């Protein structure tokens, strides 16, 4: 009986959309080789942890969950356990893991994820574990099947890696240098998504504004947006992430002109203090950033803005922090992702003096949260009484009778409507708003 049953795999993805997208590829490859996906770890024959190391707590979660797997492996010795992703690219990490968790069968990194099925065959046929990490990126591997979750919104990677080396960040070390995909490959993938009924795509890259630098013939991100905007069948185009130093006026014009490109920019500022921004190696000032926002708001009137902020970067004084609070109040973000600075070994910031105590970090973080929540509530209240276009994603978690979806500006809306509308764009009148979401009725 066991031979007839399809083998089941379970993937736990930690971290960002890039990792989500990588997991969709792992899933695509496994399905092609006869596996089936399960949402229950207990029934799985293969468990994969696709890890993140951008902050320490992401790593701690992986370690914690590996201890739990030890018991699962004792119960079922045939269970195959694989670990991959960003954490594995760090120096000595794979060796440390195999020492602490010798029951792990496969360890691979971000650059050799396309080899998964080969590694599985080695484990199954030769009964030995595989540890293989490529320390450098190679050519982009095209044509890997992608098993996407929703049939409505899809991620499309346009570039891999990062060249920026912000002093706090491990990404350039674990994801390698920038490589852009050819526009033809991107277009082909988008057309496949459309043929499967997808209506919204999000273009992904660590710094999408440096798209195309190494490609020939010449193409930049603004050109790419205009090209994708012409593809029939997509309703909405989003992108992330943008680096303020590379967001040109040409890109702002493209967002303004392309009717499918949504009025939302995620523009991480990280700090409002120019001297901290400098120590972060981000190459802009508070004034430049605010000026950029003003220019963008002028060109794109309904623009929604979101950002990332790190609290407690080494050397951050009370004065630096008050610059951050001031910037947040000036810009009036629609939403802010806030992080406590986390020391990452091997990055320049880890070696900086004046590391900030946890107590001060938490105290500042809480103050920032209060300011942000107040602003976001105010921004959301502006929607009350308005009629907005919502792409319906599914039923709302809060209330089974309601649906949920997002506006073009990426606001979450819970509203009453017919389930037949899932996947469609409907008009909704906003009746209520709080800091995190909007409520309304279909009109
Ligand atoms: N490439 C994107 C996002 C990279 S990681 C960008 O440049 O914006 C996502 C977010 O994690 C970053 O924007 C930053 O705010 C946060 N982050 C990265 N390293 C961190 C660290 N060491 N401690 C705390 N937050 C960090
Ligand atoms: Fe990290 Fe900076 Fe690159 Fe973003 S741009 S991934 S924060 S190094």
Q: What is the pLDDT, as a whole number, of residue 401?
A: 63
Give the mutation target among 161, 167, 172 for probing the ligand 2 site: most ligand atoms within 8 A of CB. 172
Tokens at residue 105, please? 């069968």
* 62-94 pLDDT, tens digit each: 999 999 999 899 999 999 999 999 999 999 999
Please state which of the four CATH numbers 3.20.20.10, 3.40.50.12160, 3.30.830.10, 3.30.365.10 is assigned to the domain occupying 8-132: 3.40.50.12160
pLDDT digits (tens, 9 = 90+) for 278-314: 999 999 999 999 999 999 999 998 999 999 999 999 9
Nearest CA to ligand 2 atom 4: 206
Q: Tell me 320's DSSP state.
A: H
d(CA 13, CA 172): 20
Q: Is 129 in the pocket of ligand 1 (CB under 6 A)?
A: no
Q: What is the pLDDT of residue 202?
A: 97
- Over residues 336-366, the pLDDT tens digits come to 999 999 999 999 999 999 999 999 999 999 9
Pocket of ligand 2 (CB under 6 A): 162, 164-166, 169, 171-172, 206-207, 243
387-442: which CATH number, 3.30.2420.10, 3.30.365.10, 2.40.50.140, 3.10.200.10?
A: 2.40.50.140
* Separation in Å, CA 366 to CA 304, 338, 355, 372: 24, 10, 19, 10
Give the full edge-to-edge strand order of the sheet including 130-132. 36-37, 8-13, 46-51, 80-85, 106-108, 130-132
Alpha-carbon distance of 158 to 149, in angstroms, equals 19
Residue 42, classed as helix, strand or coil, is helix
- Pick the closest to residue 158 from 236, 242, 235, 230 (CA basis): 242
Closest CA to 174 of 58, 252, 263: 58
Q: What is the mean pLDDT of residues 33-56?
A: 95
Surface-to-core class of residue 363, CB atoms within 10 Å of its CB (0-12 exposed, 13-18 middle, 19+ buried): middle
Does ligand 1 have an atom closer than 6 angstroms to the CB of 210? no
Q: Separation of 18 CA from ligand 2 center, angstroms?
A: 13
- Which numbered atom of ligand 2 lies nearest the CA of 163? 3
Q: Which residues contact 377 (CB under 8 A, 6 or more apart)?
A: 433, 434, 435
Helices 318-331 and 358-381, packing angle to 10 deg: 10
b/e map of 129-155 (b: 16 or more CB within 10 Å)?
Answer: bbbbbeeebeeeeeeeebbbeeebbbb
Average pLDDT over residues 234-249: 96
For the Cβ of 63 lying below 6 angstroms from any atom of ligand 1, the answer is no
CA distance linking residue 17 with residue 205, whole number of Å = 9
Cβ(390)–Cβ(262) under 8 Å? no
User: Ligand 2 centroid vs 168 CA: distance in angstroms?
Assistant: 9
Task: Give the closest residue (by CA) to ligand 1 atom 8.
Answer: 268
Give the C-alpha separation, 158 to 247, whole Å.
16
How far is residue 415's CA from residue 386's CA, in Å, rounded to a whole number?
14
- Report CA(277)–ligand 2 centroid distance (Å): 13
Nearest ligand to the C-alpha atom of residue 242: 1
Q: Looking at the CA of 206, which ligand is closest?
A: 1
Confidence of residue 323 (pLDDT cuts 50, 70, 90): very high
10 Å CB burial of residue 101 (0-12, 13-18, 19+) is middle
Spacing, Cα 169 to ligand 1 middle (Å) = 6
* Residues 170-196, mean pLDDT to the nearest whole number: 96
- What is the helix (H) or strand (E) element at residue 336, kind and residue range? strand 335-340
Buried b (16+ CB within 10 A) or exposed e, 384-398: eeeebbbbbbeebee
Fold (CATH) for 148-262: Transcription Regulator spoIIAA (3.30.750)
Q: Is 308 in the pocket of ligand 1 (CB under 6 A)?
A: yes
- Residue ranges, CATH 2.40.50.140, the chain: 387-442
* Fold observed for domain 293-380: Transcription Regulator spoIIAA (3.30.750)
Indicate whether 139 pLDDT > 90: no
Domain with CATH 3.30.750.210 in the chain: 148-262
Asked if 174 and 89 touch (Cβ cutoff 8 Å), the reply is: yes
For the chain, the average pLDDT equals: 95
Q: pLDDT band for 3, please (50, 70, 90 cuts).
A: low
């Amino acid at each position: 009986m066991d031979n007839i049953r399809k083998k089941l795999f379970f993937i736990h993805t930690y971290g960002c959309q890039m990792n989500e997208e990588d997991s969709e590829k792992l899933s695509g490859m496994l399905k092609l080789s006869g596996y089936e996906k399960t949402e229950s770890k207990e029934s799985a024959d293969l468990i994969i942890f696709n890890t993140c190391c951008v902050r320490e707590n992401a790593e701690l979660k992986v370690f914690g969950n590996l201890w739990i797997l030890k018991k699962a492996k004792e119960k079922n010795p045939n269970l195959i356990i694989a670990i991959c992703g960003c954490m594995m690219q760090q120096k000595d990490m794979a060796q440390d893991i195999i020492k602490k968790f010798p029951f792990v069968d496969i360890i691979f990194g971000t650059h050799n994820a396309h080899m998964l099925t080969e590694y599985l065959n080695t484990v199954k046929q030769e009964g030995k574990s595989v540890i293989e990490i490529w320390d450098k990126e190679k050519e982009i591997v095209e044509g890997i099947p992608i098993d996407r979750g929703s049939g409505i919104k899809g991620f499309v990677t346009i570039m891999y890696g990062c060249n920026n080396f912000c002093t706090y960040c491990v990404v350039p070390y674990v994801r390698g240098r920038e490589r852009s995909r050819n526009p033809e490959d991107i277009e082909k993938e988008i057309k496949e998504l459309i043929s499967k009924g997808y209506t919204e795509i999000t273009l992904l890259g660590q710094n999408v504004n440096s798209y195309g630098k190494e490609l020939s013939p010449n193409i930049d991100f603004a050109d790419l947006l205009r090209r994708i905007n012409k593809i029939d069948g997509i309703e909405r185009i989003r992108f992330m992430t943008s680096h303020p130093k590379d967001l040109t006026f040409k890109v702002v014009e493209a967002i303004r002109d392309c009717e499918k490109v949504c009025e939302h920019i995620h523009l991480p500022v990280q700090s409002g203090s120019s001297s901290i921004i400098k120590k972060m190696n981000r190459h802009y000032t508070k004034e430049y950033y605010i000026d950029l926002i003003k220019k963008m708001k002028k060109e794109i009137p309904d623009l929604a803005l979101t950002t990332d902020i790190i609290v407690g970067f080494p050397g951050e004084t009370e004065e630096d922090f008050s610059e951050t609070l001031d910037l947040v109040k000036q810009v009036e973000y629609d939403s802010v992702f806030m992080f406590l600075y986390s020391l990452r070994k091997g990055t320049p910031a880890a070696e900086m003096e004046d590391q900030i105590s946890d107590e001060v970090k938490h105290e500042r973080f809480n103050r920032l949260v209060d300011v942000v929540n107040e602003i976001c509530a105010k921004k959301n209240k502006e929607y009350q009484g308005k009629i907005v276009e919502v792409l319906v994603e599914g039923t709302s978690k809060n209330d089974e009778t309601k649906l949920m979806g997002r506006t073009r500006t990426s606001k979450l809306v819970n509203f009453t409507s017919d389930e037949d509308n899932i996947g469609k764009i409907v008009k909704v009148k906003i009746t209520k708003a709080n800091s995190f979401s909007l409520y309304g009725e279909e009109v």
